Structure 1
Amino acid sequence: MFHRPGYGESDADPKRSVKSLALDVEDLADKLELGSKFYVMGFSMGGQAVWGCLKFIPHR
């Protein structure tokens, strides 16, 4: 489970952006060895992370 910054067990950081969130998702996918392509989905504010992935890491 991926938690947005400041939620769950993640640390809050006011300098965070949609882009940095997308890059965190990409980093997590790499650490989990998901391969060059993977699916994302989100509900409610999770849609923000999905939008960031579509905008900033569309090649994944």
Structure 2
Amino acid sequence: MLSSVLAALGEFSEAIEEIETVIEGRERVLGPSHPWTLVAREKLATYRDSRRNA
């Protein structure tokens, strides 16, 4: 996933933008409570925490 690569490079703002796009698509196609959507939301929270701590 592109957001994971961006986060690994320390590009948290870009990673957040990318995962937000992924979440929007997954919610539209799979629904807000689908496990893949929930995993993406967890990644978003992790990226936001990492950005604050960077």
* Interval containing the TM-score (normalised by the shorter chain): 0.3 to 0.5
Greater share of helix: 2
Normalised by the length of structure 1, the TM-score is 0.35
Normalised by the length of structure 2, the TM-score is 0.37
